[in-house]
């Protein structure tokens, strides 16, 4: 079945460091791909999304490119801030599977130190 695999955390970085959180997926159809973020004490918030191959989603300095050839959707940010400390979830929604229902990775906890 469809699945999402993302790198294990926690990830600890210094402020202004470069961030990459890897995410790969398996899907039977043509999935849309998402990154959600969960700040402490809050719900999951959509960070960015991409709906087809080669699309790049971006928001708040984060970006991710839908790579069909490598079945990946890695999250990157050039210079992280302390306020980026949160748990990041990669997810997919597959037309061929559970339409509209999200399949998540385990989440990666990011801590950014001043």
Told to check if 14 binds another protein by CB under 8 A, we report no
DSSP per-residue codes, 44-64: EEEEEEE-STT-EEEETTEEE
Dist CA 26 CA 96 (whole Å): 12
Told to check if 95 binds another protein by CB under 8 A, we report yes
Told to check if 1 binds another protein by CB under 8 A, we report no
In terms of CB distance, is 36 or 73 closer to another protein?
36
User: What minimum distance in Å lies between the beta carbon of 89 and another protein?
Assistant: 6
Dist CA 56 CA 70 (whole Å): 15
How many CB atoms sit inside 10 A of residue 26's CB? 14
User: What minimum distance in Å lies between the beta carbon of 57 and another protein?
Assistant: 11
Dist CA 100 CA 66 (whole Å): 18
Member of 14, 15, 20, 46 binding another protein (CB under 8 A) = 46
In terms of CB distance, is 4 or 110 closer to another protein?
4
Told to check if 77 binds another protein by CB under 8 A, we report no
């Amino acid at each position: 079945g469809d699945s999402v695999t993302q790198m294990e955390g926690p990830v600890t970085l210094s402020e202004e460091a470069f961030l990459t959180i890897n995410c790969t997926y398996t899907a039977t159809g043509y999935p849309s791909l998402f990154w959600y973020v969960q700040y402490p004490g809050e719900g999951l918030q959509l960070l960015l999304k991409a709906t087809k191959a080669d699309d790049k989603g971006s928001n708040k300095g984060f970006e991710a490119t839908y790579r069909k050839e490598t079945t990946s959707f890695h999250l990157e940010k050039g210079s992280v801030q302390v306020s980026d400390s949160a748990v990041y979830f990669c997810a997919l929604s597959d037309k061929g599977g559970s339409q509209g229902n999200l399949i998540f990775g385990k989440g990666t906890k990011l801590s950014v130190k001043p």
